[in-house]
Chain A
Amino acid sequence: MKKYLCLIFVICGLKAAAQQHSNELEKLEIKKKKLEIKKLELEIKEQKLSLRHEKNEWSKTYLDRSKFFLSFGMGGSIPLQHSTNSLIDNLVINNQGFYIQFLSATLFLHKNWGVELSVKMNPGVTTYPYDTVYGYKTPFNNHLQALYGDRYFVSSTEFNWQAGPNVTLMAGPVYKMIKGRFMFMPKLLFGMNTVGFNEGYAYLKEKNGNEIIDKSFIPVSSNKTSFAISPGFSASYRFSKKWAANIDVNYYRSAVSNTYTELTRSYKTQTSSTSTISESVVNQWVNIGAGISLLIK
């Protein structure tokens, strides 16, 4: 009987000891977990602090500001085509001289691909004098010289106060390449170009004779709108969080046709005659300009 009682006491003692030990282990585990939570909390705090620091100093790359931007700029237009024996080629008012890019909006829908819409204008094409500033009169005179120079002394003038400025409205895909603060953007734009046409006047004096002929070439439309295609290239440098400086080079090609009314008055016979000339011309020019961009996002 004593043996049983002793055995029961021993078992109870062992149980109590085991329970005490397990309680101590649980307490240790809880302490460990608490320490881990504190560590995590500290890490989160550190991360929050680092994020705040990054927000205060803007990213020096183009990456986070290259999804949508508006550009403004100006520059010069250089016509590429040479005058030919075509009348209209010598009377069309090319895109040349100073140009203004009122607006160019670029939106990137994909990591590298986006669309651009741009509006440009050559305001100075209707200013005088054409020959000294834009060299219109000389090729027109050469054209008339080739036609009538054998029999007549030729002098000519041309102008058109009705022709407005040449306006170019283009849209198309663009592709961007970013390297640090630089962005390079080839593009292919399509759209329309309004082009003006000069009136041409010629005075023909007969060689070895008294005959005088006045000729006038009046365009049926002073302005026409034509389809244009323009591959181009832009290079940008982001100099602040929201602003970048651009350089743009764009080639343009546009075909347009028009009809001219040719009025011929011969003073020797005191007669007048009228005819029409319908021709087309391919305008080609290069715009080289610079501007700034507002980087919205």
Chain B
Amino acid sequence: MIGTVQACCNCADEIFYQFKVNKVEVSNLDNSGIVPVPTQGDTVNKKAYCLGIIMTTTKVALQKNAVPNLFVQTASAQVDCFCGGGFYGQMADTLLSLRIYTVNDFDSTHRAGAEINSYFFSDGRYPLAANGLFNQPLYSYDFASPSYVYNYMLMHEPQFSSLCQFKVEVDFSNRKYELLTKPINLL
């Protein structure tokens, strides 16, 4: 019995993980329903277009925490048999900026090649910063490689042509991704 208790309560030293974004994808989403879903066709309701960005990560480092468990922590665990988290993930990446450009003429103030960040609202609530500044370190508290999903909803309708395409620039501290969405008709 003592052995069982010890096995249960012998808290292992915490493990320190590091992750890094290794892939960024963009997609056209249809937000006509309750949540945005990837569109299969080449047409989306112009009031319900959503730009999806998915960042996937990979584990790049694993090391034991420099700070071992304190005696008090282990003693506490002996009582309640709970060792706490034990895992700490940290992203090696910091997302510096995210900019969206229109490939075609969108409206009179946003011609082809113009930044169109302010027309996209994050999860439909708040507009992206006009200069695309993010400056956000990415964190994870899971030992599995996390994915980051961003849904940017287009809150304005195109004036000139229904055919739209967007270029997304994602700038990390040490590299930059440039991606193009598939052309889509916003009707």
Contacts and interface: CB of A to CB of B under 8 A. Distances in A.
Nearest to A155: B34
A207 B125 contact: no
B146 to A, nearest CB: 25
Given A153-B34, A205-B34, A268-B155, A210 B125 contact: no
A20 interface: no
Interface residues of A, number: 12
Contacts of B154: 210
B32 A207 contact: yes
Contacts of A211: 47, 124
B34 A210 contact: no
B16 interface: no
A206 B31 CA distance: 9
B45 interface: yes
Interface in A137-194: 153
B48 interface: yes
B34 A267 contact: no
Interface string B32-53: 1110000000000101111000
A43 B124 CA distance: 102
Contacts of A208: 32, 45, 47-48
Contacts of A135: none
Interface in A205-220: 205-212
Contact of B31 (A210, A267, A268): A210
Interface in B28-83: 31-34, 45, 47-50
A210 B126 contact: no
B45 A209 contact: yes
A185 B26 CA distance: 76
Nearest to A211: B124
Interface in A200-259: 205-212
B116 to A, nearest CB: 15
A210 B145 CA distance: 31
A211 B49 CA distance: 11
B126 A209 contact: no
Contacts of A206: 47-48
Contact of A267 (B33, B45, B49, B121): B121
Contacts of B127: 270
Interface string B75-105: 0000000000000000000000000000000
A212 B48 contact: no
A212 B124 contact: yes
B157 to A, nearest CB: 10
A216 to B, nearest CB: 15
Interface of B: 31-34, 45, 47-50, 121, 123-127, 153-155
30 contacts: A153-B33, A153-B34, A205-B34, A205-B124, A206-B47, A206-B48, A207-B32, A207-B33, A208-B45, A208-B47, A208-B48, A209-B45, A209-B47, A209-B48, A210-B31, A210-B47, A210-B49, A210-B124, A210-B153, A210-B154, A210-B155, A211-B47, A212-B123, A212-B124, A212-B125, A267-B121, A267-B124, A267-B126, A268-B124, A270-B127
